[in-house]
A and B are shown apart, each in its own frame.
Chain A
Amino acid sequence: DSGVTQTPKHLITATGQRVTLRCSPRSGDLSVYWYQQSLDQGLQFLIQYYNGEERAKGNILERFSAQQFPDLHSELNLSSLELGDSALYFCASSVSREPGYGYTFGSGTRLTVV
């Protein structure tokens, strides 16, 4: 157990639907990162939050949104789902907003859009 908790572990949903992925960071970590890993695109950075504020933004689609709550857990919302959104979604956390520290990854949520 890395200390980063992601739920659910697996999710199967239909095209056009909306889902919410949840991440609880390791105790004491203030930064949360979201990544998408698909077979054809590999790992891609989506977004980073630090202590509730958006810190960095990557290749996140407009149909996707995220937030970090006062208790530091984060949610990634995916809407108007398409087949191509099927992927592993990882959350990672770190203690700092700056890149001087390593990350701890969660075990991922496997999303299948049918």
Chain B
Amino acid sequence: KNEVEQSPQNLTAQEGEFITINCSYSVGISALHWLQQHPGGGIVSLFMLSSGKKKHGRLIATINIQEKHSSLHITASHPRDSAVYICAVRSTGNQFYFGTGTSLTVIP
């Protein structure tokens, strides 16, 4: 069983659509991260969350500690948002666990 589960695995959207990617985890955490990996392979850290909600431009990340669930929302999606989005948690035991990623394709 994976400690971090993401859904969906693959997502295709039309430009302008609102997108939601979900992440559920089974361990106690000290922080949750959303990462973006572009086709070239580079990884960008989008958000670090330990509670509540954060917003950066068109991206919004939320976390519900009690339900062990986080969501990443993209408003007004754009083809440049096409990437793999990875949910990662740092457990209270100081280990890191990663989801398998959500591959997003935004079509013009």
Contacts and interface: CB of A to CB of B under 8 A. Distances in A.
Interface of A: 2, 33, 35, 42-45, 55-56, 58, 88, 90, 92, 98-105, 107-108, 110
Nearest to B97: A45
A56 B91 CA distance: 11
B39 interface: no
B92 to A, nearest CB: 10
B20 interface: no
Chain B interface: which size bin?
20 to 34
29 contacts: A2-B42, A33-B96, A35-B96, A42-B101, A43-B88, A43-B98, A45-B96, A45-B97, A45-B98, A55-B94, A56-B96, A58-B95, A90-B43, A92-B45, A99-B48, A100-B48, A100-B50, A101-B48, A102-B47, A102-B48, A103-B33, A103-B45, A105-B43, A105-B44, A107-B41, A107-B42, A108-B42, A108-B43, A110-B41
Contact of A99 (B30, B35, B86, B101): B30
Nearest to B46: A102
Nearest to A108: B41
B90 interface: yes
Interface class of chain A by DSSP = strand
A44 B98 contact: yes
A105 B45 contact: yes
A98 to B, nearest CB: 8
A84 B86 CA distance: 23
Contacts of A58: 95-96
Contacts of B35: 105
A99 B98 contact: no
